[in-house]
Amino acid sequence: MNDQSVTVDLQHFDTQGYFVARNLLDPETDLLPIKEEYSSLLDSLAEEWHKEGKVASTYRDLPFAERLCKFTSEGQDYLRHFDIILPSNCTADTPIHLGPAVFSLLRNARILDVLENFIGGEIYSNPVQHIRIKTPERIVPEALLNGLTAAVGWHQDMGVVNAEADATTMISVWIAVVDATVENGCLQVVPGSHRGDLALHCNYDERKRRYFQVNIPDKLVGPNHCPVPMKAGDVLFFHKKLMHSSLPNTSDGIRWSFDLRYNTVGEPTGRPWLPGFIARSKSHPETELRDPAKWADLWLQARVRLGAGEGVKPSSRWDSDHPLCA
């Protein structure tokens, strides 16, 4: 059990735009349930894929990371089943993982305690949330390349939500489930970039043009950036205008992380068609959502609505005809 208290360096956050809470999460109590939940999910998927003849084997005797690499090389999009958000092209049967261990992570008391330093005691779990388990990029088939499986280009989280959330107090929370290194694709940031304006984003990956992304052109990023290696259990908190990206996974293993968002209760989330919830309320604790089944039901109801064409669908605020996007 990790009982270590964290002293938040607010000055560093104010000047640099980010803060790493080292050893915030405990490997046994916080991370092991997540790993076990996803291992069980992979067991089910492996049996299904093998029965349908999509993979050569279930590879049940292999460790989790090696199994993922095998399935990736054989063209299976496991992250479509692993992710914890509905995509823009949602249908009534789009896969989404809504397990209780994920819900516990969203409500983790240590994470919320640190968040109080940035947004106070009224904390809303924003629906913009992802799991990213990245296998070595060299084995990912072209058809499976995207921001969840490969390197992510430069962007600001404020730039990939609706403009209605521009005034929202929002913090991004990036969780290392395994060690994140330069070799396996850790994040890199532009310190202090949160103090500038929202930068132009282009609707493509300027560097590779291999798969669709919404990225800031490299010429607007400049040379002042640095990697942020993290150990399993470290948690990165950063400003919604901090420029950041991820490196490619050039290692032989996986890079497993979650990126979550939180904002002040009552403020726009930037994705009004997706469900969030009150994770902590010091003034009205009775409004907190504590039941993982109710959380899962919120997403299942949203899937029905969106699959039927109801509600607001996302649209980019960016014009790719800008000269810097050429």
The pLDDT score that the predictor gives to residue 317 is 82
Which domains, from first to last, does the chain contain? 78-325 (2.60.120)
What's the pLDDT tens digit per position in 109-122? 999 999 999 999 99
The pLDDT score that the predictor gives to residue 170 is 98
| Out of 180-189, 211-220, 227-236, least confident range | 211-220
The pLDDT score that the predictor gives to residue 322 is 83
pTM over 0.85: yes
The pLDDT score that the predictor gives to residue 1 is 46
∠ CA 302-307-313, nearest 5°, is 75
CB 300 within 8 A of CB 293: no
DSSP 189-221: E-TTGGGSPPPP-BSS-TTT-SS---B--HHHH
What's the pLDDT tens digit per position in 258-305? 999 999 999 999 999 999 999 999 999 999 999 999 999 999 999 999
How far, in Å, CA of 293 to CA of 291, rounded? 5
What's the pLDDT tens digit per position in 16-35? 999 999 999 999 999 999 99
Percent of the chain at pLDDT exceeding 70: 95
